Structures are given as C-alpha cells and as structure tokens.
C-alpha cells in the first residue's frame, strides 16, 4: 500500500512538471491517508498558491508550520504574506528560516528579492551576495544582483553581472532587457539597442523591450526608425501610454509640434502624474473663455511651470479670469505675473475659490495650437522687487568684473540626470577666466559641496536663496548665467537675462536639435554636446566665449 509520503512525493513531481490536476489528486490521497502529514499540507498550500488562492494557501501552509516549522514551509509562508502585501512580516519569516538553515542559497535569494521590493537595495545586495557565495553561477541570483545594482545606479557592475547571467541563461529575455537598460545608462546606446533587439527576438511580444528599444533610438537620433517602430508596436497592440509619451517627445524635439503637443497629453496617464482630478471640465482651447474663471495648475516640474507661464497673459487677453496654482517656491514670484487674477501655492489647493474650467499649465501650448513660428517668446516674468535687487547687488560688492552665475546640476532623481548634470570639478575648467563667479546652485551634492568649499573663486550666497524671487533678484544683478538644463535656466530666460545653457547630445524636447538659439527665450544661447557626448569640449567652447565677454566688459 502506498504511503502518504509516496503520494506526496508523486504530487510534488507532478507540480514541478505543471500537471496540477494530477498533483492535487496525489495530495488529496496523501491527506486521506494522513490528514496531519505536514509535507502534504504544505503541498496543498503550494497548489492553492499556484492558482493565486492566497487565503487557502495561507491556511494550509500555516497548518504545516504549526506541526513542523521547516525552512521550506516558512519560505512558502513568506511568499503568501508577500502576495498579501505584508512584506515586513514576510521578511521576518524568512529571517527565521535562514536561522534554521543558513546554508540555503534559495532563502538568501528570496530575502534579497523581498528587500529589493521594500526599497532596501544595499541590504538586498548583501543577501544576494551570500546566495551567490553559497551557490555560484546561479543565473537567477546574478540576474537579480544586476537589477539591484541598477537600482543603486552602479551601472557598470549591473552590466557586468547582466552579461554573466546571460552567459548562464542565454534564452532569458528579461536578462537581455535589463542588460540593455544598464548599457543605456552608461550612454552605450548602440550596444543597448542590440540587447533590446535580442530580448524581442526571444520574446516577440515583449512590450517593455519594445519601449526600451524606442528610447535607445531616441538617444541615437534615429527618429525615422523610431516612428517606424512606433507604428509596428501599434499594429502589434503593444503601444501604451509610455510609448505615446516617448513618441510625443520625439515629435517635439524634431519640431513637429502638432503631433507632439497632442501626444504630450499622455503624461496625465503616466504613473508619475500628480495632476489633481477636478469635477469641472478641462479646457484645451476648444471653447471661449471670455468671462469665465479658469484654473491653470502646475502639473510637472518647476522649470515647466516657469516655461509655460508665458501663456497666462494670452488667456487673460481672451477675457478669462485666470486662477494660477504653482509650486510653493514659485508662489511669490508668480503672484505678480501679468494676466493672473490670483496666484495660490499648491499647498493651498484644498481651499481654491470657485472656477469654471481648468487646464494643466503644460497643456497650454496644445490649447493655443503652438507652432514653431507662433511661440510666445519672453521675457514675461515680473521684475523682482527693486529693494531685493539692490540688496543682492550690495552683497556682491563693486561691479568691476563680469558677473557670471553658475548652476551645474539639477534634481538627482530626474530620469536624465546622468546626461544633464555636470560635476563641479568638471565645470571648474572655465574658472580661470577673469570674471566673478557666483553660485546659483541650491543643495549641491556632497562631492560638489566639498569642491565648492575648496574654491575661493566662487561666491556662494545660496543659503539666502529662500525662493525663486530671491534667485531672480540675484540673477538680475548678474551679466550672464551659465547653467545646465534646470529651472534656473528657465528663470533666467523668462527674465530676459543673458543665459548660456549647457545641453547633452540628446536634450530636453524644448531645446530642439542643432540650434544655437532658442525660439522660447531670445536671451538664451545653447552650447551642445557633440556626438562624443562629453562636456569637456563644450566647456572649452564656453571658456573661449567667456574670455571674449570678460575682455569686452573690462574694455
């Protein structure tokens, strides 16, 4: 007569081979022979887990643990807890399992995955390191290590681990896709493109790999191929809001504003969108606003709000009463914007006065059907209070040399931070020019702050730049602003101040391609990377131009 253990062993073999009905029949037979057989109880829990019946899975696995808290039961229990969103409890359970069996590479691997999900990547990496030590050359562990390293922005190591994982598991499309992402972050877009194509060859309907291939083509400026790929994705039913967003950026960057602004609307469907929902209808230019109150609310970054505030006076000219809601640091500056009847900070959005219509501020170019030849150019921001300009001018001292404001980095969480920000040590190659350099850089990164402390040739008064009005007042005292693509670039341009913007090879869409000027800001000059994608050569051009400016000022 077969024993419960034999039926249980047979059921486990069926489960591994995907024969779920046979596995369930064997498990039920084992439990008929011995209702308290813990391996059979655990196996029944695994079967329910396979069919996402998490409550039933939990009940069976807990029954097994109560009689025999084996590490493998605890690991399954942690999996069910994770499916219920109880990740911290799941981690505690896995820690208990590891204490019982410290040489089990699978437990270390599982806990590493869980820590990654909890956003604790440094700890996740340590667990995965231990898993690899116990079981070297295990492709799933290497794949996960590569992904954790990617999350830690250790892209070179992520690419190395991804390549190792691929050698061990060459048929895994996810590994190819993740390797492509790491290479793209390293600006090795040609190589990244090949890995995305390999992922698609392995998994022909791999939507993420298609999207990533499209972005690689974007950064390679291969726009005809990008648009063809977009059409292919649409025909395959693989397009989504991310695809539409990326294609819209390509249209805008290449000057096709009609298609670009329409596609730009898909940003409201992205997970990062924070635009509130209002019961009032959204206005996108299709009806008269004469005599009506319209809320114009910030929906992207600080620079976007400054950039698109130029449309507020045009709305007022159509007879609208404009209620403007902006990020708190912009509130004082925007309170005197022409055309705004009232300006409120975003922190006060819960107590807005009545309005008839609303429009995200970044949708105004669409509403006004903006083309390259109809861009409402600056300057358009109100001048800062004269008293604040005088106060900053006094702090800067005698104006005997060219005054140059500097910004070298933006928000480190920005998706393209690696390409648009510059280390201060790199920017320092322009500081041998006979000029006064003034930092406009808020919250410098630790390595930049250390360099800034060493430099006696950069005036740093940023502790008193409490909002954009103060920054605008300081900029009004300067002869030139040199900046990477940040909100300060928009602020200086919108004030009509001479501004040089340092741009990566693939810039933000609003700077277009191959232009040295900007149709958005007449006072702006653009200094672009070449295909070499280095900032050193850009800064050499800037230094030469700056020397000429300084000499003219002295003369």
Query: In the listed set 374, 398, 430, which residue is the last one of a domain according to the structure?
Result: 374
Report how far Cα 92 is from the mean position of its chain's Cα atoms: 31
User: Is residue 90 in some structural domain?
Assistant: yes
Do both 323 and 407 map to the same domain? no
Q: Which two tokens stand for residue 496?
A: 């009509």
User: Looking at the domain assignment, is residue 260 inside a domain?
Assistant: yes
Chain centre to alpha carbon of residue 431: 32
pLDDT at 2: 66
Domain membership flag for residue 410: yes
**The domain boundary residue, chosen from 353, 374, 395:** 374
The Cβ-side half-sphere exposure at 225, using a 13 Å CA radius, reads 13
Last residue of a domain, one of 374, 399, 415: 374
Does 298 share its domain with 265? no
Same domain, 155 and 71: yes
Does 22 share its domain with 73? yes
Question: What one-character DSSP code corresponds to residue 354?
Answer: P
Q: What is the pLDDT of residue 1?
A: 42
- Note the pTM of the prediction, 2 decimals: 0.90
Which residue range(s) make up the domain with 171? 4-195
Contact between 23 and 15 under an 8 Å Cβ cutoff? The reply is yes
What is the distance between the alpha carbons of residues 329 and 341, in angstroms, rounded to a whole number?
Answer: 19
Q: Examine residue 287 and state whether it is found in any structural domain, yes or no.
A: no
391 within domain boundaries: yes
Residues 459 and 548 both lie in one domain: yes
Q: Are 60 and 185 in the same domain? A: yes
Q: Indicate if 56 and 130 belong to the same structural domain.
A: yes
* Residue at 64 is within a domain: yes
Q: Give me the residues paired with residue 438 across strands.
A: 405, 459
In our burial notation (b when 16+ CB lie closer than 10 A, e otherwise), range 18-40 reads eeeeebbebbebbbebbeebbbb
The CATH code of the domain that includes 522 is: 3.40.50.2000
**Token couple for 170:** 């060459």
Domain count, the chain: 4
Read off φ and ψ for residue 512, nearest 5 degrees.
55, -165
Together in a domain, 364 and 392: no
Asked whether residue 174 falls in the same domain as residue 94, the answer is yes
Q: Tell me, yes or no, whether 269 lies in a domain.
A: yes
Residue 114 is assigned to a structural domain of this protein: yes
Q: What is the pLDDT along the chain (555 residues), one digit of tens a residue?
A: 469 999 999 999 999 999 999 999 999 999 999 999 999 999 999 999 999 999 999 999 999 999 999 999 999 999 999 999 999 999 999 999 999 999 999 999 999 999 999 999 999 999 999 999 999 999 999 999 999 999 999 999 999 999 999 999 999 999 999 999 999 999 999 999 999 999 999 999 999 999 999 999 999 999 999 999 999 999 999 999 999 999 999 999 999 999 999 999 999 898 888 898 999 999 999 999 999 999 999 999 999 999 999 999 999 999 999 999 999 999 999 999 999 999 999 999 888 999 999 999 999 999 999 999 999 987 999 999 999 999 999 999 999 999 999 999 998 888 888 899 999 999 999 999 999 999 999 999 999 999 999 999 999 999 999 999 999 999 999 999 999 999 999 999 999 999 999 999 999 999 999 999 999 999 999 999 999 999 999 999 999 999 999 999 988
74 and 161 in one domain? yes
Helices (H), 397-512: 417-420, 424-427, 446-454, 468-475, 487-494
Based on the domain organization, do 250 and 364 belong to the same domain?
A: no
Q: Residues 68, 85: contact at Cβ < 8 Å?
A: no
Q: How far apart are CA 88 and CA 82, in angstroms?
A: 8
CATH number, domain of 145, equals 1.25.40.10
Q: Where are the alpha helices (DSSP H) in 265-397?
A: 302-308, 312-317, 331-334, 364-367, 386-396
State the pLDDT at residue 519.
Answer: 97
User: What is the maximal distance between C-alpha atoms in the chain?
Assistant: 107
Q: Are 383 and 476 in contact (CB under 8 A)?
A: yes
160 and 79 co-located in one domain? yes
């Amino acid at each position: 007569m077969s024993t419960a253990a034999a039926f249980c062993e047979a059921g486990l073999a069926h489960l591994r081979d995907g024969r779920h009905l046979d596995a369930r029949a064997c498990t039920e037979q084992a439990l008929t022979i011995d209702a308290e057989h813990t391996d059979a109880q655990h196996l029944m829990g695994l079967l329910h887990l396979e069919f996402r019946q998490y409550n039933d899975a939990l009940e069976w696995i807990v029954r097994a643990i109560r009689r025999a808290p084996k590490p493998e039961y605890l690991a399954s229990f942690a999996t069910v807890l994770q499916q219920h969103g109880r990740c911290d409890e799941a981690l505690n359970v896995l820690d208990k399992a590891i204490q019982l069996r410290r040489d089990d590479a699978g437990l270390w691997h599982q806990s590493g995955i869980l820590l990654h999900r909890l956003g604790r990547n440094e700890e996740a990496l340590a667990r995965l390191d231990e898993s690899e030590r116990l079981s070297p050359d295990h492709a799933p562990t290497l794949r996960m290590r590569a992904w954790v390293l990617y999350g830690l922005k250790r892209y070179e190591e992520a690419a190395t681990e991804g390549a190792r994982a691929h050698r061990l598991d060459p048929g895994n499309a996810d590994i190819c896709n993740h390797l492509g992402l790491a290479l793209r972050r390293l600006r090795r877009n040609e190589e990244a493109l090949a890995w995305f194509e390999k992922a698609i060859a392995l998994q022909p309907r791999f939507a993420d790999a298609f999207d990533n291939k499209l972005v690689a083509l974007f950064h390679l400026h291969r726009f005809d191929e990008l648009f063809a790929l977009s059409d292919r994705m649409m025909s395959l039913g693989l397009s989504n809001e991310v695809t539409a967003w990326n294609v819209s950026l390509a249209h805008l960057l290449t000057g096709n504003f009609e298609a670009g602004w329409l596609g730009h609307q898909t940003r409201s469907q992205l997970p990062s969108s924070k635009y509130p929902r209002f019961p009032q209808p959204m206005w996108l230019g299709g009806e008269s606003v004469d005599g009506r109150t319209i809320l114009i609310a910030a929906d992207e970054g600080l620079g976007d709000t400054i950039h698109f505030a130029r449309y507020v006076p045009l709305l007022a000219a159509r007879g609208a009463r404009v209620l403007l809601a902006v990020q708190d640091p912009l509130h004082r500056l925007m309170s005197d914007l022409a055309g705004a009847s009232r300006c409120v900070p975003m922190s006060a959005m819960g107590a807005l006065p009545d309005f008839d219509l609303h429009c995200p501020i970044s949708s105004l170019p669409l509403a006004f059907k903006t083309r390259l030849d109809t861009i409402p150019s600056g300057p358009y921001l109100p001048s800062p209070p004269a008293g604040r300009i005088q106060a900053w001018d006094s702090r800067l001292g005698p104006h005997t040399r060219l005054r140059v404001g500097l910004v070298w980095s933006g928000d480190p969480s920005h998706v393209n931070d690696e390409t648009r920000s510059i280390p201060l040590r790199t920017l320092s190659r322009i500081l041998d020019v006979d000029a006064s350099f003034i930092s406009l850089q808020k919250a410098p990164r630790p390595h930049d702050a250390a360099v800034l402390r060493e430099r006696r040739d950069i005036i740093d008064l940023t502790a008193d730049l409490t909002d954009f009005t103060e920054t605008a007042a300081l900029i009004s005292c300067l002869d030139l602003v040199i900046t990477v693509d940040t909100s300060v670039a928009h602020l200086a341009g919108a004030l009509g101040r001479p501004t040089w913007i340092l741009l990566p090879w693939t810039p933000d869409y609003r700077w277009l391609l191959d232009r040295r000027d900007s149709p958005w800001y007449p006072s702006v000059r653009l200094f672009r990377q070449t295909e070499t994608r280095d900032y050193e050569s850009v800064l050499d051009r800037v230094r030469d131009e700056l020397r000429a400016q300084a000499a003219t000022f002295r003369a």
